């Protein structure tokens, strides 16, 4: 075989160029990470049953979903947690090498078949299915240095203007908000007043669901109508309530002696959906944003693009709002790759020097020296073929 290439130098040169070309084309398409992705693909199913404790969530939400998801094609094992804040998390782990996109679709189909067994509240809020890598690329903290902006304002600003913009970046799997303070109408009830009027919290919830709805009112003068009708008018009615006073005027009970409104048994105020978590940065209240990548994405490219997007969005931030990168996992990845490349360069130089010392001829040294970059660059083509990533071990 060696004699074949020695007698055909042009053919050997063409083969070397093709190997270099294949490796050079493969390098930009390879995912980059610190270590190889040994973790099996995982799909997460998340839902929230507002007001329920862990036992209720387990029996009403987690168990029905688990029973339907269990046995999905390619599944290795399944784990779940039910929390007292009403959150249900189901992690479905698949066999190593199983296509994550197919796994997510299969889980989605199983969840759809379980919808009929779930509480109406879960159907209203929905079940979220994600396939993002559980590891974060980086996390940023958003805060107000002069405390002119509240956590609620910052959280909702991020949810509306920042979260979706970052999620659209290629390679981003999911964007999580920590210490989230979504706007919500909070209803405070007085148990004594409720008992005096023979009411329960369920009665209040029922009244809210019946009276805080969007209703299509129809149209006036829509054909077929009298020929004298000159106009067609779309009717507009009060839909979902938005002001605390409107909520307080909701009728809870109607009796012969009069009506009972929400303000008679409690009060309404605009607040946050939950206060379960609290973040601080340098003594200031803050909201955290974590960026997760897809399992086959290039961590360095995702990090660079996401940070560039945040920098661009920061130009339109409201006065008094700033952000800071809390931690960045790609810093270690970049440094590790640079160190490995430096080591390879030093090794190549040492090999060339050793070859020259043995041969004592620069012309004879050039031939084996040229094969070194061909071998190194060509290796990336095989890394691509076998589905590996650029990491400390493969380098």
pLDDT value for 367:
76
Q: Name the more confident of 222 and 129.
A: 129
Buried b (16+ CB within 10 A) or exposed e, 317-343: beeebebeebebbbeebeebbeebeee
Q: Is the pTM of this model over 0.75?
A: no
**CATH of the domain spanning 2-34+333-385:** 1.20.1640.10
Task: Work out the percent of the chain whose per-residue pLDDT is above 70.
Answer: 94
Q: Name the more confident of 188 and 381.
A: 188
DSSP state of 7: S
pLDDT value for 322:
93
Tell me if the domain spanning 204-222+232-269 has CATH number 3.30.70.20: no
- 215-235: average pLDDT: 78
- 243-264: average pLDDT: 88
**Residue 267 pLDDT > 90:** yes
Confidence label for 305 from pLDDT (cuts 50, 70 and 90): very high
As a whole number, the mean pLDDT across the chain is 85
Q: Do domains 40-133 and 136-182+273-328 have the same CATH topology?
A: yes
Confidence label for 384 from pLDDT (cuts 50, 70 and 90): confident
Q: Nearest CA to 38 among 395, 393, 338?
A: 393
**CATH of the domain spanning 136-182+273-328:** 3.30.70.1320
Tokens matching residue 236: 């507009």
**Residue 140 pLDDT > 90:** yes
pLDDT value for 31:
67
Question: 3-class secondary structure for 231-283?
Answer: CCEECCCCCCCCCHHHHHCCEEEEECCEEEEHHHHEEEEEEECCCCCCEEECC
C-beta of residue 88 within 8 angstroms of C-beta of residue 82: yes
- 261-267: average pLDDT: 92
Confidence label for 38 from pLDDT (cuts 50, 70 and 90): low
**Residue 275 pLDDT > 90:** no
- How many other CB atoms sit within 10 Å of the CB of residue 374? 16
C-beta of residue 287 within 8 angstroms of C-beta of residue 157: no
* Residue 317 vs residues 142, 163, 290, 325, 341: alpha-carbon distances, Å: 11, 14, 19, 16, 39
Confidence label for 92 from pLDDT (cuts 50, 70 and 90): very high
Q: Where are the domains of the chain?
A: 2-34+333-385, 40-133, 136-182+273-328, 204-222+232-269
Q: How far apart are CA 313 and CA 301, in angstroms?
A: 18
pLDDT value for 395:
64
Length reported for the chain: 395
pLDDT value for 36:
61
What is 40-133's CATH number, 3.30.70.1430, 3.40.50.11890, 1.10.1740.110, 3.40.50.300?
3.30.70.1430
**Residue 35 pLDDT > 70:** no
- 181-200: average pLDDT: 91
C-beta of residue 162 within 8 angstroms of C-beta of residue 316: no
pLDDT value for 33:
61
- 259-271: average pLDDT: 91
């Amino acid at each position: 075989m060696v004699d074949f290439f020695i007698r055909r130098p042009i053919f050997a040169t063409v083969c070397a160029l093709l190997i270099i070309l294949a490796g050079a084309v493969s390098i930009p398409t390879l995912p980059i990470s610190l270590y190889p992705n040994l973790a099996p693909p995982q799909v997460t199913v998340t839902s929230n049953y507002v007001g329920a404790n862990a036992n209720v969530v387990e029996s009403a939400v987690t168990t029905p979903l688990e029973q339907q998801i269990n046995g999905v094609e390619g599944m290795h094992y399944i784990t779940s947690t039910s929390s007292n804040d009403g959150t249900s998390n189901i992690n479905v782990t698949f066999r190593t090498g199983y296509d994550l996109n197919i796994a997510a679709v299969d889980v989605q189909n199983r969840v759809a078949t379980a919808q009929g067994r779930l509480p109406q509240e879960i159907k209203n809020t929905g079940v979220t299915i994600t396939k993002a890598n559980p590891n974060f690329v980086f996390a940023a903290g958003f805060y107000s240095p002069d405390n002119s902006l509240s956590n609620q304002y910052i959280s909702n600003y991020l949810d509306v203007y920042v979260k979706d913009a970052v999620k659209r970046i290629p390679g981003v799997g999911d964007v999580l908000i920590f210490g989230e303070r979504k706007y919500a109408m909070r209803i405070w009830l007085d148990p004594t007043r409720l008992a005096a009027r023979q009411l329960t919290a369920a009665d209040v919830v029922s009244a809210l669901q019946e009276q805080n709805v969007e209703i299509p009112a129809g149209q006036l003068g829509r054909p077929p109508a009298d020929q004298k009708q000159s106009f067609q008018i779309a009717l507009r009615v009060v839909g979902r309530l938005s002001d605390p006073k409107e909520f307080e005027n909701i009728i809870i009970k109607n009796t012969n002696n009069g009506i009972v409104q929400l303000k008679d048994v409690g009060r309404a105020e605009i607040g946050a959906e939950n206060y379960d978590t609290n973040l601080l940065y340098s003594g200031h209240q803050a909201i955290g944003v974590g960026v997760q990548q897809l399992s086959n994405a290039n961590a360095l490219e995702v990090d660079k693009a996401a940070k560039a997007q945040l920098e661009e969005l920061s130009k339109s931030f409201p006065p008094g709002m700033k952000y800071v990168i809390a931690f960045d996992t790609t810093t270690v990845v970049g440094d590790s790759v640079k160190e490995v490349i430096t080591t390879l360069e030093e090794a190549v130089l040492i090999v060339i020097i050793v070859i020259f010392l043995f041969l004592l001829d620069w012309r004879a040294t050039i031939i084996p020296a040229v094969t070194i970059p061909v071998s190194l660059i060509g290796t990336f083509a095989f890394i691509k073929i076998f589905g590996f990533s650029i990491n400390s071990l493969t380098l």
